[in-house]
Structure 1
Amino acid sequence: MRVDMRRSRERMVREQIEARGVRDPRVLAAMRRVPRHLFVDEALHGQAYADHPVPIGFGQTISQPYIVALMTWYLELEPGMSVLEIGTGSGYQAAVLDEMGARVWTVERIPELYDAARVRLSRLGHAGVRCKLDDGTLGWPEAGPFDRILVTAGGPDVPLPLLAQLADPGILLIPVGGSRRDQQLVMVRRQGGELLRENKGGVVFVDLVGRHGW
């Protein structure tokens, strides 16, 4: 029996995201529009809208739908804002950000994932997303500063190069902790030259690998 992906996507938004308190209509609309199943292998299409991460190869995952929506909501995005994403992975998070009208720069360190995501994003109508193969902990200095920075892997602390590339005002989100079992989602808000740090709760992400990560 063929699975109705549109219906699965609607159920994902209603039961996994709205039910847990994410009510921003722009975030919900973007999550409804982006075909999540096209960001994973065809053999895993049936798992794409389930309430858990899905493997994409090379020890990486596409994050749980609720976490994607929650982190997008925390960014407080407005159309036209510049967003730096560290950890392109499948390209799904970048597509959601692009769908919301952000100008997206995304960095991936694994060549195979970078190549696949770049092709996928272009094919699915997100050709405006700028992709780079590099050490994400170094950011993308020549394109900064960025209104928002989103890190989709967990590191020991906030990489200093990313802080240097955060605009004022600006918001940076990153999982921080000593291991995947001990991570907290940290929001750093730059306002009037000051950096305000807030803990947004426990999360589980793959390791942030690079000069300023693990």
Structure 2
Amino acid sequence: MTDKLVYTKNIYNGSREELINEVKAALSAKRFQHVLRVEKMATELADCWQVDEELASIAALTHDYAKERSDADFLAKISEKKLDPNLNNWGNNVWHGVVGAEMVKDELGIYHEDILNAIRQHTTGGSAMTKLSQILYMADYIEEARDFPGVTEVRALAFKDLGASVGWQTAHTLAYLMGKQVRIYPGTLLTYNTWSVK
């Protein structure tokens, strides 16, 4: 069970409970409950796909750490870290992953690149995704409170064929965004071309 998971690899300088408290302090109650559900799903997927559950737990608990930060905080971090200037043209949906990973590194002291890349990719995906990145991408999408057409199907798929579930999510997300006629982050198109196209 997730609540009995003990951190042993010195990836985070503290216990799971201490990390939970840091994340809880940064988020609204509703967002924090979502984070706990993502952690539960991520560790279940990690068990299924032989990925380290500690890595999955830390990535899941921190994936939305920066979600409720101000635009000014993100723009300052983009400048400070000399990230791609094109990021200035996007918004929270992209920033809280791509830029949020830098906040996780600087503020929580988590430097494990697999975890940071999973956070960076959890909303946009990527053409190259580790199993951990795929797990976080899917856990965020299919945590138990999610309710949308096809959720039961894609939940089952994630435990049967993880890569195919990444493709399913990306195709459906792209269709949703196109239906809303909003701009689409180029990284999402790369994810679609890699994971969704047969």
More helix by share: 2
Q: Quick one: higher RCO (CA 8 Å, sep 6+), 1 or 2?
A: 2
Q: TM-score, normalised by structure 1?
A: 0.37
Q: TM-score, normalised by structure 2?
A: 0.40
More strand by share: 1
